[in-house]
Amino acid sequence: MTINELQEEIIGEFEMLDDWTDRYELIIDAAKGLKKQLPEADRNDQNLIDGCQSKVWITAHMVDGRMQLRGDSDALLVKGIVALLLSVLDDHTPEEIAKADLYFIDKIGLREHLSPTRSNGIAAMLKQIHLFALAYQAK
């Protein structure tokens, strides 16, 4: 699936829920269902994302020309946000990730329903993933 198709899937899931309590539960469920777990050894300062209120770790590796992203957080809601981001971006080429417009974050109303520090954290996560993509493009 393309990045935009994956975003549309998430938007569809959120549109079925009117209440933000239910939407938060959906995000927490995403955390519990994080498909690719981050190994404990990768939860280190080198992979820590600066600018996040909670601790967030994200790694990227190339496999057959596609970026394999892993992530985790010490906060359940933030881990759910990490899971949503990775569900859209994982297993795509660096070029696809670098040029991706991640409109689903605003379309589901996530930014407006988070504290400013959590919104800044999303921006920091996206910036790091984008930097990974640019670095792999340059290789």
Taken in order of first residue, the domains within the chain and their CATH numbers are 3-138 (3.90.1010.10)
Per the CB < 8 A criterion, the answer to whether 68 and 90 are in contact is yes
**Full-model pTM:** 0.93
Q: What's the confidence (pLDDT) of residue 138?
A: 87
Q: What's the confidence (pLDDT) of residue 72?
A: 95
3-state secondary structure of 110: coil
Tell me the one-letter amino acid at 103.
Answer: Y
Q: What is the mean pLDDT of the chain?
A: 93
Q: Tokens 């990490």 belong to which residue?
A: 82
**pLDDT tens-digit map of 76-89:** 999 999 999 999 99
Q: Which of 52, 56, 60, 126 is catalytic?
A: 52
Q: What's the confidence (pLDDT) of residue 114?
A: 85
Confirm whether 21 is a catalytic residue.
no
**pLDDT tens-digit map of 53-104:** 899 999 999 999 999 999 999 999 999 999 999 999 999 999 999 999 999 9
